[in-house]
A and B are shown apart, each in its own frame.
Chain A
C-alpha cells in the first residue's frame, strides 16, 4: 500500500515542457520558469497562460523581481521581467554572455545580473552601473534594505554599494568556488554555497568566518526559517539547520536536523509564517517537516527526478513544486495547516 501524498488530496500535478528552474508566486498565480526558455503561470485551478520563447535558448536562472514580476536570465544573454499577466519586458541584453546569476531588491527597485565577471545593476530603465570582479559572478543577493549587494565568485564574496560604484567595496576571501550567496534578515551574516560540499559564512561586523561542512552532496538550496533563527540547507538526506539566533551565529554551535528524505535533499523552502518547511530530494520525494524535527507529511512520492523548485506563497497557504523532468504542481494548505 502506498502512503497517501498531499499532492493527490490538496494539490494538482502537471507537466511543464522542461526542467523547472524556479517557481514564484505573484498573488494567487505562480510563475514557473523552465529550461526551454518559457514561463508558465498557474492558479490553484489550472493553467493561466504560457509564454514561450521568453529566452531564445535555455533559461538558466530566475528570481523574484523588484516589482510584481519574475526576472529570468538565459543563454541568449537576456535579462527579462515577466509579470502576472504574462507581459514580458527586456531589462538588458548582453550578447555572447550567459546570464546565470540574478538578484533583485524590492526596496531598492534594483536587480543585479552576472555578466561574465561583471555584476550589472539594472533598474526599470535599464543598466545603471557595472561592477567588475576577479572571477565570473555566479551568485548575487541584495541585503534586506537593498543598499548593498553581495556577489559570489571564485575566491570569495564581494560586497558593493549598488548605487555607488566608486564607494569602497568589501572583499570576503576564502579559497574555493562560491556558487550562491544569501544574507541573514538582519544583514549581520553572509553565507555561500560552494563547489565543495560545504557552506561558508562570514560575520560582517568583524569578518569572522566559518565553514559548515560534512554534507554528502552539493548544496543546492538554502532557506531561512520563518523566525530567522535557522538556516535550512539541502545537501544531505536530513535537512541540516544551522543556528543564527545569537550574535555568534553558528560559530561554535552544532547543526540541528529536521526529518529525513529517502535521497539527498536538493530543494528546501521554509514556510513564511510557521515553523515548518518543505524539502525535496534527488529522487523526487517532497515532504513537509517541522523545522525542529518531528513527523513529516508526504507531499509527493519519489519518482526518480530531482526536485528543483519549492515555493510558498507569501501568505503561506500555497506551495508550488517543480522537478528536473518538468513535473510540477500546486498545493493549497488553507485547511491543512
Chain B
C-alpha cells in the first residue's frame, strides 16, 4: 500500500563513535527527516528529527529459538511511528555497545507489521581502529557486530599507525570479507556510504558488496575491477593470486590479532550450474541445523535451466531469496555462497555445496 521506510541499524562498541556519526548524519543539510531510535537520550537531538528512547527488550519467541529472537521495543516503536505517515523519511536504530545485532536484524524478518512497513537498509558498524584488538579480546559482541555489518566504519584511523591500521583491517576482513570498509577520523563518513544502501535488498545486494561475485583479494580467482578500492599499479588478471603490497593485508612478519577471532567466513563457489532443488534442500537444512552459528549468509546462484540469477541472503535462519535479473551473455555464471559464522567446517560445507551441482 505505502512505500517501505528504510531502516539503518547503527552498531558499535561504546566509544567507537556512533553518537558522533549520528549527530553528523542529523546535522548535514540533506533535507530529510529521520526518526532515531536510541537506547538512551544522549547528546542527540536536532530540530525536525524525532528521537525516541527505548530499553532494548529482547523477545524470544517460539520457545526460545535463537533465530526467532526479536527486539520487542523496536516493534512497538516502529508500529507507533507508522501511526503517523509522512513525518519522517527514514529510521535509524542505534544499539548499545553490547547489543547482539541479530535480534535487531531479525525483527525486520519476523514481525509482519515491521516487515510490511519498513525495509532494513543496512547494518553499519562503527569500529574504533585503536581499540578494536582489545574489544575483540574481551567481548564476543564486538566480533558479532562486525560479522553482521554491511558497512564497517573504521573510525579514528588518525590515531593509529599505518601498520596498526593494516592489521585491524585484516582482522575485520577475516571476520567479514564482504562488508565495505570506510575509513574515517571523527566518524566523518559521506552520508551515501552509510545511508540508502539497500544492503538487504536482493536487487541491490551487489552494489554494497561489489566484491561479492569476486573472490576476495588474495584468494584464487580474484578479479580486480572498478570496485576494488585501491589503485592498481599493474594489470591483474584472473590468475593473480599473489599478495598485493598495496592491499590492506598485514605485513608478512606482523600477524593480525586474528587469534582472538572466533567468527570466520567460508566462501563457496562453482562455475557448474546448480540443481535448484538440491541446493534449497541443503541450504534450508543447513540453516535449520546450524543457523545459530551462521550469523549471516549471502549468495548469488546460477541454476541449471534458469536464465536469471538467484539471490539469497539470511540472518541466522531467516532467509530471503528471489530471482533477479538475467545473467548477461558475457557474464561468467559463477554460483557463490558466503557464510559468516562460528564452528564452520569449510571442507564439509564445500563438499555439500558441490554436491548440489546439477548432473
Contact = CB atoms under 8 A, between A and B. Distances in A.
B49 interface: no
A196 B65 CA distance: 12
B239 interface: no
Across the A-B interface, the 6 shortest Cβ-Cβ residue pairs: A35-B83, A177-B59, A58-B83, A58-B84, A35-B84, A196-B61
Interface in B190-212: none
A61 to B, nearest CB: 9
B112 A18 contact: no
Contact of A175 (B55, B60, B72, B73): B60
24 contacts: A18-B85, A19-B83, A21-B83, A35-B84, A57-B84, A60-B83, A75-B80, A98-B52, A98-B76, A100-B80, A135-B57, A136-B72, A136-B73, A138-B76, A175-B60, A175-B63, A176-B62, A177-B59, A177-B61, A177-B72, A195-B59, A195-B111, A217-B112, A304-B1
A74 to B, nearest CB: 9
A248 interface: no
Contact of B60 (A58, A176, A324): A176
Nearest to A216: B112
Nearest to B87: A58
Contact-residue size bin, chain B (C-beta under 8 Å from the other chain):
20 to 34
A136 B55 CA distance: 9
Contacts of A154: 57, 59, 72
A59 interface: yes
Contact-residue size bin, chain A (C-beta under 8 Å from the other chain):
20 to 34
Interface string A50-92: 0000000111100000000000000100000000000000000
Contacts of A37: 84
B59 A305 contact: no
Nearest to B72: A177
Interface in A170-190: 175-177
A84 B61 CA distance: 41
Given A35-B84, A176-B60, 12 more contacts: A18-B83, A57-B84, A58-B81, A58-B84, A75-B52, A135-B72, A154-B57, A176-B63, A195-B59, A196-B61, A196-B62, A304-B1
A270 B36 CA distance: 40
A96 interface: yes
A21 to B, nearest CB: 7
A21 B82 CA distance: 12
Interface in B48-77: 52-53, 55, 57, 59-64, 70, 72-73, 75-77
B254 interface: no
Contacts, number: 67
Contacts of B111: 195
Given A58-B84, A175-B63, A96 B53 contact: yes
A180 to B, nearest CB: 12
B267 to A, nearest CB: 35
A327 B113 CA distance: 19
A58 B77 CA distance: 11
Interface string A298-337: 0000001100000000000000000011000000000000
B41 interface: yes
Interface in A181-240: 195-196, 217-218
Interface in A97-155: 98, 100, 116, 135-136, 138, 154
Contacts of B61: 176-177, 195-196
Given A175-B64, A195-B75, A304-B1, A136 B80 contact: no
A325 B2 CA distance: 10
Interface in A255-277: none
Nearest to B77: A98
B115 to A, nearest CB: 11
Contacts of A218: 112-113
A304 B1 CA distance: 7
A136 B57 contact: yes
A53 to B, nearest CB: 13
A181 B63 CA distance: 20
Contacts of B1: 304-305, 324-325
Given A154-B57, A218-B113, A58 B80 contact: yes
Contacts of B84: 18-19, 35-37, 57-58
A175 B65 CA distance: 11
A323 B77 CA distance: 20
Nearest to A264: B112
Interface string A26-62: 0000000001110000000000000000000111100
A175 to B, nearest CB: 6
Contacts of B75: 195
A215 B86 CA distance: 32
A195 B72 contact: yes
A186 B137 CA distance: 58
